[in-house]
Chains A and B, each alone.
Chain A
Amino acid sequence: GQQLNQSPQSMFIQEGEDVSMNCTSSSIFNTWLWYKQDPGEGPVLLIALYKAGELTSNGRLTAQFGITRKDSFLNISASIPSDVGIYFCAGQLGGGSNYKLTFGKGTLLTVNP
């Protein structure tokens, strides 16, 4: 099925550094979601974005819904070891019964203490 272009694929950073990752799509989405997945577990919702241009924060996390509706980024500030995991973006058209999510390939984050 269709996938989003998510980058980078992986990141190795030192504790305390800031991190940025993004997703782009060739088609428009009406909702962007960011999830974190730990090994052997299901994804956990971090941030949901519903309006083009929207900037939303959740603690050290900040995400933006691109103005063109074809992209989104996630920033993590002052990273800590427990930020390790795989981060996925997901786009959704929404409306009617079209609530399917299209996922990016994920960004593997490693934080060195």
Chain B
Amino acid sequence: GAVVSQHPSRVICKSGTSVKIECRSLDFQATTMFWYRQFPKQSLMLMATSNEGSKATYEQGVEKDKFLINHASLTLSTLTVTSAHPEDSSFYICSAKPLAGSYNEQFFGPGTRLTVL
């Protein structure tokens, strides 16, 4: 149980294009999903918190117009990197917090490697 998937696993795009990354909780409903960014040999940095049916909450320094988040259902959140540039190249990881139960664990997806040329 508690499986989170991401699609695509890796994407290469040209500078100026937009890229959409999907995060799905496969066997549970998630009240909240989180989007992280990880640079090589570094830790995970939270970008935004996404709640179903409401606007995402972005961390300080994260451009909300650049990283569009939509949380359409209790099992799906999407991150769109708009007008991507080479500096947006990174490993993007989502996590989901289960709706059921009283525990606070977050379960992570396998990540999406974005390379912007």
Contact = CB atoms under 8 A, between A and B. Distances in A.
Interface stretch (A12-20, A64-72, A95-103): A95-103
Contacts, number: 61
Interface residues of B, number: 27
Interface stretch (A42-50, A53-61, A73-81): A42-50
Given A42-B93, A105-B42, A99 B107 contact: no
Q: What is the predominant secondary structure among interface residues of chain A facing chain B?
A: loop
A112 B111 CA distance: 28
A104 B43 CA distance: 7
A43 B113 CA distance: 14
Given A94-B104, A100-B46, 5 more contacts: A42-B4, A48-B103, A50-B104, A99-B49, A103-B43
A21 interface: no
A113 B65 CA distance: 49
Contacts of B42: 105
The 6 closest A-B pairs by CB, nearest first: A42-B108, A103-B43, A42-B111, A42-B110, A43-B108, A105-B43
